[in-house]
Structure 1
């Protein structure tokens, strides 16, 4: 599978900027990058994509701590949607504990946890875990 779209859901503009730079410098140049500042905005826009018959992003990089709708609330609602292609969600956070890891593993879409700041090795790990060919 080729990465067509990567979705970043994060309210920190510095993290978003850094992630976009990493994506553009690590073989993701051909990928579309969608950015949403909170779970509510992401849920609304991704639901609209589904309703219009478009594909979901291949990879979602999801922050947990955001205003309006946090990452957990987003996952609770997002997992109830019916997908043509199931995105692989990677939770990207500056801190998480064992209870959050256990909770994250209860979501079928969550592939793994990545510590902020995202670095090039993390992207390579994401590719390996996703079995995604870029």
Structure 2
């Protein structure tokens, strides 16, 4: 039986970045379900409603967003969702060392990338995650 592929979420308030990142992900991680949200609250509600035990989710998350920022999203995610099968990569324009250090406080955050994400990062990510992110 073929392993179920992770669902990929792109959460960013910038529509151009969403389009760019979605194109990169669809090219480098072909065949995976990619969902994009310009509102972190909406993404959180979607994840919280899924009852997705056993469903792997890979989230590319911006930090600086209106209404709910990336840190608030992560705090709420930990409170409301079983994060066992969730991996988060922060993709941000913030070069702040304090932001990068803060990201290490969240066990589901596995990396911190500067915008925009690139194909080399996604290739390395696929190799690094191995079986968690199966080849199609």
TM-score bin, normalised by smaller chain: 0.7 to 0.9
Deviation for aligned residue 1:89: 0.2
The total of aligned residue pairs comes to 131
Alignment of 1:18-37 (within 5 A): 18-26=20-28, 28-37=29-38
Conservation of the 8 A alpha-carbon contact between 2:22 and 2:36: no
CA gap 1:42/1:55 in 2 versus in 1, 3 angstroms: farther
Deviation at 1:128, TM superposition (A): 2.9
Gaps of 5+ in 2: none
Alpha-carbon RMSD:
2.0
Deviation of 1:97 after TM superposition, in Å, equals 1.4
Deviates more, 1:75-84 or 1:107-116: 75-84
Structure 1 portions without partners, runs of 5+: none
Post-superposition Cα deviations, 1:15-38, rounded to whole Å, max 9, x if no partner, equal 111111112221x22100111112
Are the aligned partners of 1:49 and 1:56 in contact in 2 as well (CA < 8 Å)?
Answer: no
Q: Secondary structure at the match of 1:75?
A: helix
In structure 1, how many angstroms separate the alpha carbons of the residues matched to 2:55 and 2:94?
27
The answer to whether structure 1 residue 93 and structure 2 residue 92 are counterparts is yes
